[in-house]
Amino acid sequence: MRPSLRDAGRVLLRLRQLDVKAREVNRQRCEAAFLFVLLCVVTLAARLWYLQIVKGTELRARSEHNRVRLVRLQPPRGKLLDRSGRLLVGNQPCFNVCLVREEAKDVEDLLGRLSVLLEEPVGALRERLILGRRLPLYTPIVLKRGIDRDTLARLEPRLFRLPGVSVEVEPLRKYPHGRLASHLLGYLAEVNEAELAKGIYPGVRPGDLVGRAGVEAQYQKVLSGRSGVRRVEVDATGRLARVLDETPPLPGSDLFLTLDLDLQEEAERAMRGKVGAVVALDPRNGCIRAFTSVPEYDLEPFAWGLTPAQWRALNDARTRPLQDKAVQGLYSPGSIFKIVAAVAALETGRLAPQTRLTCTGSFRLGRRVFRCWDRRGHGEPDLYEALVASCDVFFYQAGLMVGVDELARYARAFGFGRATGIALEDEKAGLVPDRAWKLERYGKPWQDGETAIMAIGQGFTLVTPLQLAEMIAAIANGGTFYRPLYVDRERSPSGRVRPGDAPEVVGRLDVRPETLRLVRRALRGVVADEEGTGHACRLPDVAVAGKTATVQVVQQSRRGQLEELPWNLRDHAIFIAYAPAEAPELAVAVLVEHGGHGGSAAAPIARRLFETWFRGRPGGEGRGRG
C-alpha cells in the first residue's frame, strides 16, 4: 500500500524534530565541554597563582635549600678599650657545632652520636635544639659553642656521616687581662626563650649571645653590630661546595672607657686575696678611673655555658663573687660618717670650730656606756682634732646635740640614701634612718643611744662603696656631685668618633665655704698629722687628704677577742681619700670586708693607687691626665 502524502509529511516533520533535538544536545555537550575546560584552566591558574605568588617565596627557599644554604655571619662585637686605647676586651674566632634540621634524617640518632663526639649530655643538645624551633628548618642551630681544636679534629672527618651537622665560625669575646674589671665590663650569655618571646633584643635569634651585665648589657645595641649572610652551595652530604655570594656583617662600635688600665691593674693587685671594693673617680667630672669588686670572676664560661661546679663557686655564700660590691654591697659607713656629723654640727650651730668636748675613753648615756676606740681617751679635742684622731666620744656628744633627723638630712645631702645614677644594673640606694623610718619599720620610737652610734657610722645607716667615692669626690671639688660615668667615647666601624655622655651634675652640697674648708683641712690632717689615723697613705711628693673607718661587725663587748674571731666576724676596713689635696684630680674609696682597721688595711691600698696615678709626675700637678 503506497504511503499517502500526509504520512510522508509526518515523517519529514519527525525527522526535522529529531535533527533539532540532536543539534540542541550537541550544543549542550559543547557548552559543558567548554565549561569543563574553562574550569580546569581557572583551577590551574588559581593553583599556579597560589604556588607562585602566595607560597612562592617559601617554596623557592625550600627548593633552593635542597642545595643552597644561607649561612648567617655574626658581626664582630665592638671592642672595649681603656681611655688611652689599650685593649680590655676583644674578639677571637670560635668554632660552633650547628645542625640544619631539614637535612637531618634521624635527629635523635644524630644527637646521640654528637653527644659522644662532643662529650656533651644529650639533654643539653636537645634543649638547644628546642630553643631553636622558632627558626626555619633550613637555618643552622648552634648545638655546642666554642669547641676546642682537639674536638674539631675529631669531628671534621666524621661530618659526612652526620647529615645536617656543620661547623661554623663565630667571633667570641677575648679577655687579654683575665678577670680584670669583670663586674664593670660584664659578660655575654645566650638569649633565653622568655627574652625571645618578649622581643627584648630585636634581630636576635636562638643561640645568639647578648650582654648580661655591666658595659656589655648597658651598651648591647652599640656593641652588637648587624649580622651578614653568605649563600653557599652544598653537596649531597651537606658539605660546602662553593660560595655563591655574601653580604658582610657590620661590626659593632668600639667603646673607649674612662678606666685607666694601669690604675685598674694596681687596684686589683692590691686587693688580691681580699673581699671588698675599690672605686677611683676624677672629682672634676665623675669619670671612673678604677672600679674593682673582689673576688672577681671569669667572664668566658658564661658564653660557653657554666658547669655545675662553676655555678656553685660563683654562688659562694662567703665571698659572693657575682655581687658587684661597689654598687650592690651595703655597709655601715663607720667613722666616715663623722664627716657628716661634723658638717651637721657646724651648719646647725650646735658646735663652733673651736668648741672642745671631753673624751676620757668612754661616754655614759643613761645606763649604757659608749666607748672610744682609744680607751685612753683624747682629752679635750676641738672639731678639727676630733676628725683627725677619729674620736668616737666627741661625735657621740656631737650627734646627740644635732639630733637624728638633722643627721639624716645632712647624710642625704652627702648622697647617702639615694642611687648615684651610674648606668649599671641593680645599684643599691642604701639607707639613711630617722625617727619616722624606725617607727614605720619597727613600730618603736627612736632612742638617744641610736643617735649616738649613728653619729659614728654604726647602727642602721647603710652605704655602698660608690657612694663613699662620690662623697669624697664632692668634698674634693668643693661640693658638686657628678653622675658616675664610664664611657669616654664611641668609635663606629667607619672610624667616626662620638664623645660619650657629658659630665652631669646631680647634686650640690649646700654648706658654707668655711665649713667645707675646715673639713678639708681636717682630712689633710688625718694623713699628715702625727695624731692622724691615715699615716699609711702618706706620699713624699703629693699631699693626700682622707678619712679612715673601722666598721664593727660584732658587739663592743666582744672586741677584746677580735683577733681570735672568725674572718666573717672581724671589722670592715674603709678609707676614702683624694689627691693632690689643693688641686684634687683623683678621689678613691677602698673597702676591705673583715680587713680589720681602716688605717692599716685600707689606707695602704689607696696609697698604691695614688702612687700609680702620680708616678713620674713630681708634685702631682696632673699633667697629661685631663
Q: What is the pLDDT of residue 550?
A: 95
Cα 245 to its chain centre, rounded Å, is 38
The 10s digit of each residue's pLDDT in 462-471 is 999 999 999 9
Question: Domain residue spans in the chain?
Answer: 68-257, 261-295+329-489+502-616
Average pLDDT of 200-224? 91
For residue 6, count other CB atoms closer than 10 A to its CB.
8
Only one residue has cell 544536545, namely 25
283-304 pLDDT, tens digit each: 999 999 999 999 999 998 887 7
Residue 516 and residue 526 in contact, taking contact as beta carbons nearer than 8 Å? no
Note the pLDDT tens digit of each residue in 328-357. Answer: 999 999 999 999 999 999 999 999 999 999
Domain spanning 68-257, CATH architecture: Alpha-Beta Complex (3.90)
The position carrying cell 653557599 is: 232
164-173, 368-377, 424-433: segment of lowest average pLDDT: 164-173
Tell me how crowded residue 507 is: count the other CB atoms within 10 A of its CB. Answer: 19
Whether 335 is catalytic: yes
Name the pLDDT band for 58 (thresholds 50, 70, 90): low
* Cα–Cα distance, 554 to 223 (Å, whole number): 46
pLDDT-derived band at 478, boundaries 50, 70, 90: very high
pLDDT of residue 620: 46
Return the percentage of the chain with pLDDT > 70, whole number.
89
- Report CA torsion sign: 611, 615, 619, 621: negative
Grid cell digits, residue 587: 678621689
Homologous superfamily (CATH) of 261-295+329-489+502-616 is DD-peptidase/beta-lactamase superfamily (3.40.710.10)
Containing 346, the helix (H) or strand (E) segment is helix 337-347
Inter-axis angle of helices 404-413 and 337-347, nearest 10:
110
Exactly one of 115, 253, 293, 335 is catalytic; which is it?
335
Looking at the DSSP assignment, which residues form a beta bridge with residue 497? Answer: 491
Query: Alpha-carbon distance 588 to 578, whole Å?
Result: 6
- What is the DSSP-derived secondary structure letter of residue 431? B
| Residue pLDDT, tens place only, 163-206 | 888 888 888 899 999 999 999 999 998 888 888 888 888 888 88
CA 298/CA 377 separation, integer angstroms: 48
Whether the pLDDT of residue 421 is over 90: the answer is yes
Residue 621 — very low, low, confident or very high, per pLDDT cuts 50/70/90?
very low
Contact between 237 and 256 under an 8 Å Cβ cutoff? The reply is no
Residues 6+ apart with CB under 8 A from 525: 384, 387, 388, 531, 532
Is a pLDDT exceeding 80 seen at residue 380?
A: yes
CA separation, residue 250 to residues 228, 235, 256, 492 (Å) = 7, 29, 19, 10
The model's confidence at residue 259, banded by pLDDT at 50, 70 and 90, is: very high
User: What is the structure's pLDDT at 232?
Assistant: 80
- R_g of the chain computed on alpha carbons: 38
Q: Edge-to-edge strands of the sheet including 572-579?
A: 288-294, 276-281, 586-592, 572-579, 545-551
293 pairs with which residues across the strands? Answer: 277
CA 622 to chain centre: 31
**CA 103 – CA 68 distance, rounded (Å):** 12
**What's the rounded Cα separation, in Å, for the pair 575 and 512?**
25
Degrees to nearest 5, angle at CA 23 with 18 and 25: 95
Give CA–CA dist 568/318, Å, rounded: 8
Instruction: Compute CA 436 distance to the chain's CA centroid, rounded to the nearest angstrom.
Output: 35
The neighbour count for residue 169, using CB atoms within 10 Å, is 12
- Please count the other Cβ atoms lying within 10 Å of the Cβ belonging to residue 42: 10
Alpha-carbon span 58 to 76, nearest angstrom:
30
Question: For residue 510, what pLDDT band results from cuts at 50, 70 and 90?
Answer: very high
pLDDT digits (tens, 9 = 90+) for 68-105: 777 788 899 999 999 999 999 999 998 989 888 878 88
Mean pLDDT computed over every residue of the chain: 89
**Tens of pLDDT along 124-150?**
888 888 888 878 787 788 888 888 888
Give the pLDDT mean for 153-162.
Answer: 86
Nearest to 620 by CA among 588, 577, 576, 579: 579
HSE of 358, CA atoms in CB hemisphere, 13 A: 4
Q: Is the pLDDT reported for residue 243 higher than 90?
A: no
pTM for this prediction: 0.84
42-70 mean pLDDT = 68
Q: 431 Cβ partners below 8 Å, 6+ apart?
A: 330, 417, 460, 461, 462
pLDDT above 50 (res 623): no
**Which residues in 356-455 belong to E strands, given as ranges?**
362-365, 368-371
- Grid coordinates belonging to 597: 682597721
Q: If residue 88 lies in a helix (H) or strand (E), which one and from where to where?
A: strand 87-99
Q: Is the pLDDT of residue 625 over 50?
A: no
Determine the pLDDT at residue 457: 97
Rounded Cα distance between 360 and 531, Å, is: 16
Separation CA 614–CA 626 (nearest Å): 13
Confidence check: pLDDT of 561 > 60: no
Tell me whether residue 102 is exposed, middle or buried, using C-beta atoms within 10 angstroms of its C-beta: 0 to 12, 13 to 18, 19 or more.
Answer: middle
pLDDT score, position 130: 86
**Listed range (3-7, 163-167, 185-189, 383-387) with the worst mean pLDDT:** 3-7
| DSSP 8-state class, residue 462 | B
**Mean pLDDT on 544-567:** 74
DSSP 537: G
